[in-house]
Amino acid sequence: MLISVGCFAAVNLMVKFLPHLPATELVLFRSIITFAISYTMLRRKKVNPWGTNKKWLLVRGVSGTIALTVFFYTIQKMPLSAAVTIQYLSPFFTAFIAGFLLGEKTKAAQWLFFLISFIGIVVVKGSSAAIPPLLLAMGIFSSVFSGLAYNAIRKLKNEEPLTVVMYFPLVATPAMIIFSLFNWVNPSAWDLFMLLGIGLMTQFAQLYMTKSYQISEVNTVAPLKYIGVIFALTWDIVLFDFIPNGQMILGILLVIGGVLLNLQFKASQKARIRKEA
């Protein structure tokens, strides 16, 4: 998980270094690289790359495409630490959407933890003029679609993981080609190097995150994901001359605190159910 967190932090940093390229173009290059790697690996494993549950595979692809495009845009336009922190709301939206799609009820305590995190987002918003309401709303919008994508993945338990991964670029590539036609910017040689890095680092990040979940309890490794905000704060301070004030730090702690409390609550609920069984 630590390797995964480091790779995702590198992706966020590279996106931040490419503010002159449209977010749609970044997603396009990332999608092409992901598609090439995933499809090649599927063919080598002699697995049907198109899957069986195409409805939920498409839902995963569409929701993931929307979430990532908007997330990349917020990274480009607001402090990196703020964009990453807002994205951390996605576990709550995952839980809420699961209530409708999977019949999993949200407990009262989880609503309280969500309130704590949402208060943290409000505190982060008020800490800097560099976080306008529209960008804040876009960040939350991205988190909602991330939650939908995660639920779609849970609906696809019987699918080959690489097939699930591949449906993101399968949807994103043609969609981003169309959008990029309206605002294309020719990337320089350095830009192409960075775009290649985004694609490769994302593949490594997803691979090692999946491995960590396969060999350990989710509640053990999932909290390590939030070390990512330390990377984001470091990049903001060292590379982008953005010094977060005390109010912003408090907001970030509230957001992460609410998420971690929710993770711990779900872990204790599962442990209680196992014990009763």
pTM: 0.88
pLDDT band at 151 (very low <50, low <70, confident <90, very high): confident
Crossing angle for the helix pair 80-87 and 246-276, to the nearest 10 degrees: 20
Query: What pLDDT shows up at residue 10?
Result: 94
Tally of helices (H runs) and strands (E runs) in the chain? 12, 0
Query: What pLDDT shows up at residue 67?
Result: 94
Query: What pLDDT shows up at residue 277?
Result: 63
Residue 20 CA to residue 157 CA, distance in Å, equals: 39
pLDDT over 70 at 220, yes or no: no
pLDDT, tens digit (0-9, with 9 covering 90-100), for 71-110: 999 999 999 999 999 998 888 888 888 888 777 777 888 8
Three-state secondary-structure class, residue 113 = helix
Three-state secondary-structure class, residue 119 = helix
pLDDT over 60 at 257, yes or no: yes
pLDDT over 80 at 27, yes or no: yes
Give the CA-trace dihedral at 246, 252, 257, 263, to 10 degrees. Answer: -170
pLDDT over 80 at 273, yes or no: no
Query: What pLDDT shows up at residue 217?
Result: 62
Query: Beta-carbon neighbour count of residue 270 at 10 Å?
Result: 13
Q: For residue 223, give Cα distances in angstroms to 65, 82, 111, 140, 238.
A: 25, 18, 19, 20, 25
Mean pLDDT of the chain: 87
Residue 197 CA to residue 120 CA, distance in Å, equals: 32
Query: Which DSSP string do the residues of 124-153 spell out, in sequence order?
Result: HHHT-TTS-HHHHHHHHHHHHHHHHHHHHH
- For the chain, the structural domain boundaries read 2-276
Q: What share of the chain is helix, strand, coil (3-state, %, to 5)?
A: 80, 0, 20
